[in-house]
Chain A
Amino acid sequence: MKPKDALSCWIIFLGSAMALIGFGSAAGSFYIGDALLRLLFVLLGISLLLLLPTSFRLAKQKRSFCWMVAFAAISFALAYLVPSAPPKVGLRDYSIDASLMKFMISSLALVITGPVAASAGFGPLFNFTKHAHQASAYCFLTIAILLILYPLGLIISEISVNGLPGITWEFLTQDVSKHGAEGGIFPALVGTILLIGLTALIALPLGIGCAIYLQEYAKRGRLVRVIRTAVNILQGTPSIVHGLFGLAVFVPLFGISLLSGALIMGFLTLPIVIRTSEEAIRSIPQEIREGSYALGATQWQTIRKVVLPPALPGVITGVVLGLGRAAGETAPIMFTAVYFMGARVPGSLLDPIQALPYHLLELTRYWGAYPVEQNAWATAFLLLAIVLGINAGGIILRERYRQEF
Chain B
Amino acid sequence: MENHIKVSIKNLSLWYGSNQALDQITMDMPEKKITAIIGPSGCGKSTLIRCLNRMNDLIEGCRTTGEILIDGQNVYDRRVDAVEVRRRVGMVFQKPNPFPKSIYENIAYGCRIGGINTKQRLDKIVKESLKEAALWDEVKDRLSDSAMKLSGGQQQRLCIARTLAIEPEVLLMDEPCSALDPIATAKIEDLLRDLKRDYTVVIVTHNMQQAARVSDYTAYLYLGKLVEFGPTRQVFEKPEAELTERYITGRFG
Contact = CB atoms under 8 A, between A and B. Distances in A.
B80 to A, nearest CB: 13
B163 A405 contact: no
B109 A296 contact: no
B53 A295 contact: no
B55 A293 contact: yes
Interface string B111-137: 011100000000000000000000000
Interface stretch (A138-146, A152-160, A188-196, A298-306): A298-306
A238 interface: no
A295 B164 CA distance: 10
B113 A294 contact: no
A288 B162 contact: no
A291 B97 contact: yes
Contacts of B112: 305
Interface in B67-114: 83-84, 86-87, 90-91, 93, 95, 97-102, 109-110, 112-114
B99 A292 contact: yes
A311 B232 CA distance: 45
B159 interface: yes
B146 interface: yes
Interface in B33-61: 53, 55, 58
Chain A contact residues: helix, strand, loop or mixed: helix
B166 A296 contact: yes
B195 interface: no
A305 B148 CA distance: 17
Interface in A242-291: 285, 287-288, 290-291
A401 to B, nearest CB: 11
Contact of A293 (B86, B101, B159, B163): B86
Contacts of A305: 109, 112-113
Contacts of B93: 287, 290-291, 294
Contact of B163 (A285, A295, A297, A301): A295
Contacts of B95: 287
A404 interface: yes
B101 to A, nearest CB: 7
B55 A291 contact: no
A293 B81 CA distance: 13
Which of the four size classes fits the interface of chain A?
10 to 19
Contacts of A298: 83, 113
Contacts of B83: 296-298
Which of the four size classes fits the interface of chain B?
20 to 34
B58 to A, nearest CB: 6
A209 interface: no
Q: Which of A291, A297, A301 has the most chain B CB atoms closer than 10 A to its own CB?
A: A291
A310 interface: yes
Interface in B222-244: none
Given A405-B146, A405-B148, A295 B113 contact: yes
Contacts, number: 67
B86 A291 contact: no
Nearest to A302: B113
A288 B114 CA distance: 18
Contact of B166 (A290, A295, A301): A295
B110 A295 contact: yes
A309 interface: yes
A298 B110 CA distance: 11
A298 B83 CA distance: 7
B101 A290 contact: no
Nearest to B54: A293
A285 B100 CA distance: 11
Given A287-B95, A309-B101, A293 B113 contact: no
Interface string B145-184: 0101000000000010011001000000000000000000
A230 B38 CA distance: 49
Contacts of A288: 97, 99-100
A287 B91 CA distance: 12
Given A290-B55, A295-B166, A296-B87, A405 B101 contact: yes
Contacts of A404: 146
16 contacts: A287-B95, A288-B97, A291-B98, A291-B99, A291-B159, A294-B90, A295-B113, A295-B163, A296-B86, A296-B114, A298-B83, A305-B109, A305-B113, A306-B99, A309-B101, A404-B146
Given A296-B114, A310-B100, 20 more contacts: A285-B97, A287-B93, A287-B97, A288-B100, A291-B97, A291-B98, A291-B162, A292-B99, A293-B55, A293-B58, A294-B53, A294-B55, A294-B163, A295-B87, A296-B86, A297-B83, A298-B83, A298-B113, A306-B109, A405-B148
Interface of B: 53, 55, 58, 83-84, 86-87, 90-91, 93, 95, 97-102, 109-110, 112-114, 146, 148, 159, 162-163, 166
Interface of A: 285, 287-288, 290-298, 301, 305-306, 309-310, 404-405
